Copies of this chain bind each other. A is one copy, B any other.
Amino acid sequence: MEIIKPSTIAGVMELLPDEQKVLDEMKTTIEETFKDYGFSSIDTPVIEKNEVLFAKGGGETEKQIFEIASDSKDMSLRFDLTVPLARYVSEHFSELNFPFKRYQVGKVYRGERNQKGRYKEFYQADIDIIGHNELSIYNDALLARVIFEAFKKIDFPNVTFHINNRKLLNGFFKSLEIEDSTEVLRTIDKKDKIGLDKTKSLLNDIIGEEKSSKTIEFINADLSNSETLENLDGLANTDSYNKGLEELKTVYDYMVKFGVSDKNIKIDLSITRGLDYYTSTVYETFIDGYESIGSVCSGGRYENLASNFTKQKLPGVGMSIGLTRLFYQLKELGLIEDKKKSEVDIFILPMDSKFNFYAIDVLKRLKEEGKQADIYLEKGKFKKKLNYADKINANYVVIIGEDEVSKNEVSIKNMETGEQFNKSIDNLDFGN
């Protein structure tokens, strides 16, 4: 028979079981945290209609899409979880309760060019709160609290939320009489990549030196949060600016109240998050000490989630963790290694198949106690069996041979300490 080389397509993350376990646990913990705050799970299909995916117009995204081959060329794989959310909320509008709080952790697809750390298939973990007609600004702080707790629970208690407000930015630019701020925002967005000097010289070209200086001064002040807020007070005086400042203050105050402490927040006026979508709060989240890997959770508030699909006004706020990319980066930094845990707690090892029934009785007793336990049923030398138990990282091996059976006992080996002790099968506790 012809042998075909077994390989995945390029640009996907496929893990061995010990690493998969770490990723699975991160995923589960994040989901549990979302659930604990009353977010509902939804699970939309991976394939969507093209008319849904491109309702907003394709643009850059369209080039990256995985389209399903068919005569009608009318469906593709989703490239994010936000378009499906908009479609879901519109389609099921009358059956949902608003504010609608949903989470979805799922794979999305983009035809990225092959390069390290870029994936064609990757998990996103999204939470959004969608209102009908209105949604209080307090939710923007609640969301940060939920994300803060999720990171804490996956062992990253030290993260910093960089927050800003798009109304504030727009109002500021208006006060400088910059009518079209699109190009300015786009330039600011690149600041971390291109550096401050380059940003400044680009801004000089667009809006002239004076406005450029004021803009740089505005976005780059390295002040405490309270100093920044004080500084912003009265700095401009347009409706948008004042409204934005009020919102930013409220979100900051509520975040602190919700237990995201001041040191985990940075009011950062250089955060812009893309150009069209967000209309108020925007956030990026950085792991302290690992800022170089970029934002690990981003999002913001939008005026209207689903104007392409419904006439209902659906304002919302959402954040998204790029889970696959985060995992890749943590792995690169060596932060996954010590999270790899044992595959099995208790491994039962009959020395000969004639002890199998006895061993199965032991397994059943352990299962009644809710233990994680596995049994070895293959033939082979004792050493080979013990070697396997070691390789799968069993915490305890329960050895069953002639001696043990004759005494109604088992012999328990603690694989970490090497200790070995006998226990009656009627009293299978694993302390010494």
The chain A residues found within 8 Å of chain B, CB to CB, are: 1-9, 12, 14-17, 20-21, 23-24, 35-38, 40-49, 51-52, 55, 66-70, 73, 75, 86-88, 90-92, 95-97, 99, 101-102, 107, 109, 120-121, 131, 134-136, 138-139, 142, 149, 254, 257-259, 306-311, 343-344, 347, 353, 356-357, 360, 363-364, 367, 371-375, 377-379, 388, 391-392
What is the CB-to-nearest-CB distance from A78 to chain B, in angstroms, rounded to a whole number? 11
5 shortest interchain CB distances as A-B pairs: A38-B374, A17-B40, A38-B344, A6-B90, A6-B309
| Inter-chain contact B1/A37, CB cutoff 8 Å | no
Partner of A6, one of B68, B310, B373: B310
How many angstroms between the C-alpha atoms of A87 and B8 in the bound complex? Answer: 8
| Inter-chain contact B47/A9, CB cutoff 8 Å | yes
How many angstroms between the C-alpha atoms of A180 and B86 in the bound complex? Answer: 56
Chain B residues with CB under 8 Å of A257's CB are 356-357, 360
Chain B residues with CB under 8 Å of A131's CB are 378
Chain B residues with CB under 8 Å of A377's CB are 136, 138-139, 142
| Inter-chain contact A97/B7, CB cutoff 8 Å | no
Chain B residues with CB under 8 Å of A91's CB are 6-8
How many angstroms between the C-alpha atoms of A23 and B43 in the bound complex? Answer: 10
**What are 30 A-to-B residue pairs whose CB atoms are below 8 Å?**
A1-B308, A4-B51, A4-B52, A4-B55, A4-B308, A5-B309, A6-B88, A6-B310, A8-B49, A9-B75, A12-B47, A15-B43, A16-B96, A17-B41, A20-B41, A21-B41, A23-B43, A38-B392, A46-B121, A47-B109, A67-B68, A99-B378, A135-B378, A136-B377, A138-B353, A139-B377, A142-B375, A254-B356, A257-B357, A258-B364
| Inter-chain contact B66/A67, CB cutoff 8 Å | no
| Inter-chain contact A41/B12, CB cutoff 8 Å | no
How many angstroms between the C-alpha atoms of A120 and B347 in the bound complex? Answer: 40
How many angstroms between the C-alpha atoms of A8 and B133 in the bound complex? Answer: 25
What is the CB-to-nearest-CB distance from A259 to chain B, in angstroms, rounded to a whole number? 6
Given A6-B87, A38-B374, does the pair A45, B121 have CB atoms closer than 8 Å? yes
| Inter-chain contact A14/B55, CB cutoff 8 Å | no
Chain B residues with CB under 8 Å of A87's CB are 6-8
Chain B residues with CB under 8 Å of A308's CB are 1-4
| Inter-chain contact B52/A6, CB cutoff 8 Å | yes
| Inter-chain contact A46/B46, CB cutoff 8 Å | yes
| Inter-chain contact A48/B307, CB cutoff 8 Å | no
Given A21-B41, A67-B69, does the pair A4, B309 have CB atoms closer than 8 Å? yes
Partner of A24, one of B17, B41, B101: B41
What is the CB-to-nearest-CB distance from A103 to chain B, in angstroms, rounded to a whole number? 10
| Inter-chain contact B69/A42, CB cutoff 8 Å | no
How many angstroms between the C-alpha atoms of A360 and B255 in the bound complex? Answer: 10
| Inter-chain contact A136/B24, CB cutoff 8 Å | no
Partner of A138, one of B4, B88, B356, B371: B356
Known: A68-B69, A138-B353, A149-B367. 5 other contacts (CB 8 A): A1-B307, A3-B310, A7-B87, A23-B43, A258-B363
How many angstroms between the C-alpha atoms of A136 and B20 in the bound complex? Answer: 27
| Inter-chain contact A20/B38, CB cutoff 8 Å | no
Chain B residues with CB under 8 Å of A373's CB are 36-38
What is the CB-to-nearest-CB distance from A61 to chain B, in angstroms, rounded to a whole number? 16
| Inter-chain contact B392/A8, CB cutoff 8 Å | no
Chain B residues with CB under 8 Å of A44's CB are 8, 14
Chain B residues with CB under 8 Å of A12's CB are 45, 47
How many angstroms between the C-alpha atoms of A45 and B306 in the bound complex? Answer: 30
